Each structure stands twice: as structure tokens, then as C-alpha cells.
Amino acid sequence: MAFPETRLRRLRATPALRGLVRETRLSASQFVYPMFVEHGLEGDPAHPTGRAPIASMPGVDRLSVDQAVAEAGEVAALGLPGVLLFGLPAEKDADGSGAWDADGIVQRATRAIKAAHPDLLVITDVCLCEYTDHGHCGHLRMGSHPPTVDNDASVALIARTAVSHARAGADLVAPSDMMDGRVGAIRAALDEDGRSDTPIMAYSAKFSSAFYGPFRDAADSAPAFGDRRGYQMDPANGDEAVRETLLDVQEGADIVMVKPALAYLDVIRRVKDATAMPVAAYNVSGEYAMVKAAAAAGHLDERATVLETLTAIRRAGADIVITYHAKDAARWLQN
């Protein structure tokens, strides 16, 4: 039957009717809040509050461990299930040894947050780029010009980092380096360490994206030379994103991720259909910064824009959305 018997506007007439047939719903339980924890911010006279604002990401600060604990409390009180931790270490070196230091910044923050808020999930980003002095996500093979990131040597360091996070109390580990074989290596290393119950949330289809710009300011992790196109994915490739994800599933990923989110909604849908896995999407720093800048200029309604965006990411197939707007969205959904 077509018009005039069929009239789609019938079910759009009132809020109650629209609610009855709404296909996609948002709840705070679907959002994860990323946080940046910085070594040495406590007791830093330049930052008496233990917080350092990030210019390109209004509302997001780098945090001391104490402030991270306080912020985690706020996150838990809003009904959000968890936080995703990034660390800014005391010192960087060629191999990023701060990443697997038992007393490193993420390990310390994880222990402190879990002690104060045991039910809140602490997910740790597992990568070397915040810890290497060259800003790349792995160990450099120096022979070639420019140097390249040595896959297998990096995988060993990444697995070591994941184990140290789990030992500190991380509930899930989230490798974001895009080395081949790292999910399998992490699974084996965790199992060997008696941690067969620690799940892996794999950044499976992580694209080499301009939308990470603000994050690299926040985490001080821009590559010193070259770019990440030798390991992160080409934004042009959807079939390859499915292959990357299926390999991570084979290697033991428990949750797969597509990143960024907004320019990759088709990839989210394809990954969901191809894997039937729990899918996370990372609504990244540049996506946050765009909305913030447009809202500050009076060009967009921030609340409406963010809720529409989050709905679209969920409609595309994401079960979990990692977003710097998580706390705002949780508040907006309350009233």
C-alpha cells in the first residue's frame, strides 16, 4: 500500500508516538569517558588545581592522579560505566619504557581509581606513542631513511605494557598501536600472567586521521618525523577495515573498535554486520573540538548536535561510544 493509505507522518504526530517507534536509544551506560593523566601535575606550582587545560578541547583537562580519582567519581555518579586512561609520563625515551613501568603514570592512576571507585571500569589505552621521544607507536628500526616502525619488536613491548596495566588493576586493555599480531600477543601474555579473564578492547579499524590533531596536543604525542600511515589505516579502505577486524577477532579480541566515528559510520555498520561482536566507536578529539568551536561561535546548539551525533553512531552499529562528551551527554539524558 502506498499513499494515501500509507502515511508515515501518522507515527510522527506526538512525542509519545515518536517514542513508541524510536529505533535507537541513548543511555549513559553506553558511553566511555577518556581521561589524560599527567605525571608531576600534583604539587606543580604552575597548576595548583592539579589540572592543565587543553586549549583545543575546552572542558577537558590533563589531570593529576588525585584529580583523575575525583573526576572518575563524577563519571561513576553520572552512571557512566567506565573511563579510558591515557598517560603523560615523567620522561620519554626511544622505546617508550614509561609505558610498562609498574610505577608509571597509568599504572598509578589505575590503582588509585580502582581503590576509590571499585565498580567503575578502568580501560587503559595500550600504545607507546605517548612514551616514545619520537612520538611513533612502536620501536624504530633505524637502518632505513626515514626509520620505520619495527612491527614484531613493537608487539613485544605492547604486550608487556598490557600486562603491566592489568597487574595495576585495569579491567580491560585497549591496544591502539595498529601493529599486526598485537591482539594475539597480548592475549597470550595476559593468559601466561594468569589473567585469562581480562578482556581486550581492540582498536581494530583505526584510520590514519586528521581528526586526532587535538589529542596529539593533549597527549603530547605528535610524531617527530613522518606520519602514522605506515601502520594506521588508509581512510579510503572499507574492505580492509573488515579484514583488520576479523583478524583481531581471530586473535582473541573481546570488543572491536572503529576510530574515528563520524567520517566512518559505514565502516561501523560493516564491522557490526561482519563480526556480530560488541563494537565500540571512538568519537575522537577532532570531532569534539569541531562541535565545541562551532557551539562557542554560536553556530550550533551543542546539546542537540551531540545527542544527534551519538544517536547516529549508535544507529550505525556501535554498542559503545567513547566520547569526550560522555559526562555532558549523561547529564542531558537525565533531564
| Catalytically active residues, by annotation | 206, 259
**Smallest separation (angstroms) from ligand PBG to the CB of 138:** 10
> 63: helix, coil or strand?
strand
CA distance 31 to 281: 10
Residue of 65, 75, 122, 129 interacting with ligand PBG (CB under 6 A): 129
Span near ligand PBG by CB under 6 A; candidates 5-13, 25-33, 41-49, 125-133: 125-133
CA distance 155 to 157: 5
Q: What's the DSSP call for residue 39?
A: T
Residue that the C-alpha cell 589531570 belongs to = 63
Nearer to ligand PBG, 156 or 274 (CB): 156
Q: CB burial class (10 A; 0-12, 13-18, 19+) of residue 82?
A: buried
Residue of 33, 36, 215, 264 interacting with ligand PBG (CB under 6 A): 215
Residue of 256, 284, 316, 321 interacting with ligand PBG (CB under 6 A): 284
CA distance 60 to 218: 9
Does 280 bind ligand PBG (CB under 6 A)? Our answer is no
Does 61 bind ligand PBG (CB under 6 A)? Our answer is no
How many chain residues bind ligand PBG (CB under 6 A)?
A: 11
E strand intervals along 89-176: 121-126, 140-141, 148-149, 172-175
Residue of 56, 154, 176, 245 interacting with ligand PBG (CB under 6 A): 176
**Smallest separation (angstroms) from ligand PBG to the CB of 297:** 21
**Smallest separation (angstroms) from ligand PBG to the CB of 214:** 7
**Smallest separation (angstroms) from ligand PBG to the CB of 162:** 14
CA distance 103 to 304: 42
Does 226 bind ligand PBG (CB under 6 A)? Our answer is no
Does 160 bind ligand PBG (CB under 6 A)? Our answer is no
Residue of 125, 171, 248, 251 interacting with ligand PBG (CB under 6 A): 125
- Residue 131: count other Cβ atoms within 10 Å of its Cβ: 27
Nearer to ligand PBG, 72 or 99 (CB): 99
How is 99-123 classified by DSSP, letter by letter?
GG-TTSHHHHHHHHHHHH-TTSEEE
Nearer to ligand PBG, 107 or 161 (CB): 161
**Smallest separation (angstroms) from ligand PBG to the CB of 176:** 4
CA distance 230 to 283: 23
Query: By the criterion CB under 6 A, which residues form the site for ligand PBG?
Result: 125, 127, 129, 137, 176, 212, 215-216, 228, 284-285
